[in-house]
Amino acid sequence: MACYRNKGRHEDGFKAMATTDEVVMGGQADNPLLQAWLAPHATPPFAEIAPDHFMPAFEQAFADHAAELDAITRDPAAPDFANTIVALERAGTLLSKVSAVFHSLVSAHSSPALLKIDSDVSLRLARHWNAILMNAALFRRVAALYEARESLNLTPEQARLLERTYTRFQRAGAGLDAAAKKRMADIVERLAELGTTFSHHLLGDEQDWFLELGEQDRDGLPETFVVAAEAAASERDMAGKAIVTLSRSSVEPFLKDSARRDLREKVFKAFIARGDNGNANDNNATIVEILTLRQECARLLGYPTFAAYRLADSMARTPEAVRDLLERVWHPARAKALADRAELQVLVTEEGGNFALAPWDWRYYAEKLRRSKANFDDAAIKPYLTLDNMIAAAFDCATRLFGITFHARKDIPVWHPDVRVWEVKDAGGAHKALFYGDYFARSSKRSGAWMTSLRDQQTLDSEVAPLIVNVMNFAKGAEGQPALLSPDDARTLFHEFGHALHGMLSNVTYPSLSGTSVFTDFVELPSQLYEHWQEQPQVLRQFARHYQTDEPLPDDLLARFLAARKFNQGFATVEFVSSALLDLEFHTQPAAASRDVAAFERKELEKIGMPSEIAMRHRPTQFGHIFSGDHYAAGYYSYMWSEVMDADAFGAFEEAGDIFDPTVAKRLHDDIYSSGGSREPEEAYIAFRGRKPEADALLRRRGLLDTPEAA
């Protein structure tokens, strides 16, 4: 499951505005992070930035920000919206600038030096924000304005900013007594350390393992996979060899195509054991401490569980609402998966296999069954899904929907030679944003796919255009050959580009409300909604072209692809919903219940009747969404919550009879993509759709609506 990436800042902090007129700090004239950036559109000069530059830059940024906030706190004038809320928005320019660059590099192009700094920086950031968000004098100013909000004559966006600012302080513990504040600060600092540790452990296990494929190990593997495996070996200085890595983009195709059951088992077990190997990268103890501290944090703030605390500031509001949605989806999904399991076992037996279907067999035999029943397999369509054409398709859909255009730029500094940059212009030809695409897997990059930003849009004092980043882990093609995407890869590209559009189309005044600064269970709507265009026949007919002949996707293959979309949805839904349910249980049950993480996992999966032949999409020790930080903690359900909205939202275009209907597209732009966090999410959705979403749209999209529930 692709995901949105928090933007390299402490998530309870303010998104400080980014400007282009930085001054050179005394004594730091040789540090590029502390100088005005002279590249086009004031972009970061990555080639000039070394790891040693970061700590001095952070030190200066912390000092600057502290001084700015001290001035707000000590202002003798009575608090008003300008001298308190707007002043908070203007504070922290340098910290925002340095943090965005640092966290982008740590995730997308790390090194031992950066990872070491990351451990220090995460703790320093936690301490810095604790001092701000628990500042009683500062909170009194914010609270006074919040209590008087009805009489302040604020615009809707200003009122929203005041409410979100007050909520940040209150949820961080600003209203606690001195002893509780001290304990809360200690917890936040320790959680920052633990989240970084979890992430580093996971990266360590992923970097340390690979499976070399000899000629005899390649049975069933298509040439496109072997080429990607050779590219992965070259990236690890193993030229001339071919390897399977623990990147999902390597593991899943191998499990689907390899005829070597023994190797499928080896790869599968290594993949699900990441962070759970009893070595220096083991994450079990880290999880236990994280859950214990989160529980204590929630209770200090008056909530019975961390899930109750977290969900109080979401669209869902309560754990009960989340559980209701997940269970509504779980039962038909499980029933469908069990029916599919029986068919797969029959196929195993018919082929002479004297074994029970195992988790490392599911994808392999599901692909065989799909070829048999739907006359389709990914290998047939992959030659038509080149990376460049799918990028072009994503851009073209955005142009037709929103009027923006994309223009390649070769003069923008990047952090790795593979990174590409486009200038985004509005319908009138004016500069709108820069978009960075970092598409290929490498050992210096964490696994997964995400969107982040190097600078966010805002217009507080001037027009500030955003710098938006998409990061993927696709396999490279052979030398001189294009990268070929699977249907899942192509969908991931559109998903992350949907997040990117959310950042690029943002049109708000205040930095803290920019782009993806929305509730976690709303942030996936723009991304998941955008996936729909990738699978539309008129898009595929135009952009799905054979990489060798440039022939368009044949109508027969297109029809078979579209017919096969709902195949294996029981499996896909079960692996996701089981992860979301486990996340919810981790954060609703007492922390003591999960002191043995593996035992807790087994118990909860047994309770919901998890088919033994399917593994969760994320086992606990590799569940970075919820343990590398807390952005998705008790919130992994958000993808499913947003899918209810996205399946329903695309219906507006279907009802209009045109997937690019200009009237519907304008509402989509104005009410969803450009409004950032300036409106309540439910209000924004209703403004677009005219009503609340209908949950059946999700089940219908996944082909689960008429599935009988399993006993």
Q: pLDDT tens across 128-146, in order?
A: 999 999 999 999 999 999 9
Which pLDDT belongs to residue 562? Answer: 87
Lowest mean pLDDT among 444-458, 562-576, 580-594: 562-576
165: how many CB neighbours lie within 10 A of its CB?
20
> Is a pLDDT exceeding 90 seen at residue 462?
yes
Residue 95 carries which side chain, given as an amino acid letter? L
Contact status, residue 155 vs residue 191, Cβ threshold 8 Å: no
Residue 457 host element (H or E): none
Residues 6+ apart with CB under 8 A from 94: 22, 34, 57, 60, 61, 64, 65
Q: Which fold has domain 32-133+135-175?
A: Glutathione S-transferase Yfyf (Class Pi); Chain A, domain 2 (1.20.1050)
Which pLDDT belongs to residue 378? Answer: 82
Higher pLDDT residue, 448 or 410? Answer: 410
> Is a pLDDT exceeding 70 seen at residue 21?
no
Tokens of 34: 């502390």
383-566+638-701 maps to CATH 1.10.3720.10: no
When pLDDT is averaged across residues 272-296 and rounded to a whole number, the result is 97
Q: What percent of the chain has pLDDT over 70?
A: 95
Which pLDDT belongs to residue 375? Answer: 82
Grade residue 675 by pLDDT with cuts at 50, 70 and 90.
very high
| pLDDT tens digits for range 679-689 | 999 999 999 99
> Is a pLDDT exceeding 70 seen at residue 592?
yes
Contact status, residue 359 vs residue 615, Cβ threshold 8 Å: yes
| pLDDT tens digits for range 629-648 | 888 999 999 999 998 899 88
> Is a pLDDT exceeding 80 seen at residue 340?
yes
Which pLDDT belongs to residue 15? Answer: 56
Active site residue 496: yes
Grade residue 79 by pLDDT with cuts at 50, 70 and 90.
very high
Which pLDDT belongs to residue 516? Answer: 96
> How many Å apart are CA 417 and CA 437, to the nearest integer?
11
Which pLDDT belongs to residue 11? Answer: 36
| Segments of 96-246 assigned E as strands | 211-212, 243-244
| pLDDT tens digits for range 168-190 | 999 999 999 999 999 999 999 99
| pLDDT tens digits for range 495-542 | 999 999 999 999 999 999 999 999 999 999 999 999 999 999 999 999
> Is a pLDDT exceeding 70 seen at residue 455?
yes
| pLDDT tens digits for range 311-321 | 999 999 999 99
When pLDDT is averaged across residues 248-277 and rounded to a whole number, the result is 96
Which pLDDT belongs to residue 152? Answer: 97
Alpha helices in 211-317 (DSSP H): 223-235, 248-257, 261-272, 284-300, 306-311
Contact status, residue 4 vs residue 523, Cβ threshold 8 Å: yes
> How many Å apart are CA 225 and CA 36, to the nearest integer?
45
SS3 content of the chain, % helix, strand, coil (to 5): 60, 5, 35
Which pLDDT belongs to residue 379? Answer: 83
> Is a pLDDT exceeding 80 seen at residue 7?
no
Residue 214, burial from CB neighbour count under 10 angstroms (0-12, 13-18, 19+): exposed
> Is a pLDDT exceeding 60 seen at residue 464?
yes
Contact status, residue 77 vs residue 83, Cβ threshold 8 Å: yes
| pLDDT tens digits for range 141-172 | 999 999 999 999 999 999 999 999 999 999 99
When pLDDT is averaged across residues 442-468 and rounded to a whole number, the result is 95
Residue 210 carries which side chain, given as an amino acid letter? F
| pLDDT tens digits for range 361-391 | 999 999 999 888 878 888 889 999 999 999 9
Choose, from 206, 496, 531, 613, the residue flagged as catalytic. 496
When pLDDT is averaged across residues 250-263 and rounded to a whole number, the result is 96
What does the mean pLDDT of the chain come to? 93
CATH code 1.20.1050.40 region(s) in the chain? 32-133+135-175
Residues 6+ apart with CB under 8 A from 422: 395, 406, 407, 408, 409, 434, 435, 437
| pLDDT tens digits for range 81-101 | 999 999 999 999 999 999 999
Which pLDDT belongs to residue 656? Answer: 97
> How many Å apart are CA 451 and CA 37, to the nearest integer?
23
Which pLDDT belongs to residue 701? Answer: 80
> Is a pLDDT exceeding 60 seen at residue 1?
no
Q: What is the CA radius of gyration of the chain?
A: 25
Residue 563 carries which side chain, given as an amino acid letter? A
> Is a pLDDT exceeding 90 seen at residue 404?
yes
Q: Whose CA is closest to 520, among 436, 638, 409?
A: 638
Which pLDDT belongs to residue 707? Answer: 54
> Is a pLDDT exceeding 90 seen at residue 307?
yes
Which pLDDT belongs to residue 706? Answer: 66
When pLDDT is averaged across residues 550-562 and rounded to a whole number, the result is 92
